[in-house]
Amino acid sequence: MKKILLLAALTLSAGLAFAQNTFPTSGNAGVNTTTPAYNLDVNGTFNANSISLGKQLVLPQVASTQERGIFNLILPALRSGKRLHPDEQFNNGTNSCVLYNNAGNGNVTLNRVAVTGVPNTSGYCLEITHTGAAAPGLGGYYQPAMSGANKTLVQLFRAKIPVGYTLNYASNLMGTGFVRQWLTNNVGTGKWEDYAIMIVCGYTGTFSTGGYVFLTGDTPTVSTPLVWQVASSAVYDLSDVRDNTIQNQQVADQVADLRITGNGWMGGNVGIGTTDTKGYKLAVNGTAIFNKAVIKLYGNWPDYVFRKEYELPSLTTLREYIDKEQHLPHLPAASQIEASGIDLAENQKALVKTVEELTLYILQLKAEIDVLKTRIQ
């Protein structure tokens, strides 16, 4: 009888202990809560390979490969915010990324290098090498992310980190009650992975910078260094929805990928068909067509040629110049144009000056011919 009572007690105890994990045929089910408000109410975190809504797959887990990790569909949506650093794939530099090592002992280096198979369109990545202890952790890199009242910032980067090392994120004060949260995994897999960290700034208090990424794990040495790579990195302000970027506004009246409908401003140099503008504000590697082009000159237009005080060179002087230089005065030589191109505004001014001088020569010759005709008659 005692055995029967003990078995019944154990059965009842097990039922009570595990009741919160059962799923009734009706009503709500809760995980880590005894008062579920939904059919499934999870008080905490959960993990799933994919999520479906209304039997439609909305967040699939795309299978990884030997070199590339899981693709996260949420990350492209985060890029709808204002991008604080424009060269995300390191086409022209490090995109404001600098070495992060508060120890300053030279055990961490950061270089922009060309890598075959890097998952971006530039072919360049940042390579960070650790050869000893640093601070914090093993050190890493820093990309400025200035905080502000009620801002939401997200730092997105694609990195290849060896197995056994963990990413960490640091920041200065970013407002009272600010929160940092990883939106992805933060461990190294030996593959190219997308990583994201979100900062929800406070509404008041002290606001400074974030963007500090560092690694933790076994301390490397000079003989066994730790090397990892970053294929892209940028900080987005999700509180500012792209108010300073050029949008694709293609419509029926313009078949193109880019259309600027209002006033625009570009602070640097612009290259079309080239990334090397040679220091010019606009460089076009190819042909261009205009309905109308207006060039404003800062110098005087050469109507001064018709003033009485202008000294017109003699035809003999002109002949001597042509024989020696093999081109007209005021106009650039062929060798000069081949070397540095042609300044349309200055060349047009020089052409007008030449035409006006030729007009004066013609008028002089006409006057001399008229005198000869009079004498002959």
Contact 84, 233 (CB under 8 A): no
Residue 186: which residues within 8 A CB-CB, separation 6 or more?
166, 167, 168, 195
Residue 274: which residues within 8 A CB-CB, separation 6 or more?
283, 284, 285
Question: With 90 as the cut, is the pLDDT of residue 262 above it?
Answer: no
Note the pLDDT tens digit of each residue in 340-357.
Answer: 888 888 888 889 989 999
Contact 118, 125 (CB under 8 A): yes
Residue 281: which residues within 8 A CB-CB, separation 6 or more?
269, 270
Sheet hosting strand 98-100, strand order edge to edge: 98-100, 140-146, 209-216, 166-170
Q: Give the β-pairing of 282-284 and 270-272.
A: parallel
Note the pLDDT tens digit of each residue in 215-245.
Answer: 999 999 999 999 999 999 999 999 987 654 4
**Residue 190 tokens, joined:** 């030996």
The mean pLDDT value of the chain amounts to 85
Look at 5 and 308; give whichever has higher pLDDT.
Answer: 308
- pLDDT for 40 equals 87
Overall pTM surpassing 0.85 (yes/no): no
Provide the β-strand partners of residue 113: 125
Question: With 70 as the cut, is the pLDDT of residue 1 above it?
Answer: no
Answer left, alpha or beta for residue 298, where phi above 0 means left and psi between -120 and 50 means alpha.
Answer: alpha
Radius of gyration, CA atoms only, the chain: 36
Mean pLDDT, residues 96-120 taken together: 96
Note the pLDDT tens digit of each residue in 315-374.
Answer: 899 999 999 999 998 888 998 888 888 888 888 888 998 999 999 999 989 988 988 988
Q: Tell me, what DSSP letter sits at residue 91?
A: S
Whether cis (ω within 30° of 0) applies to the bond prior to 136 is: yes
Question: With 50 as the cut, is the pLDDT of residue 5 above it?
Answer: no
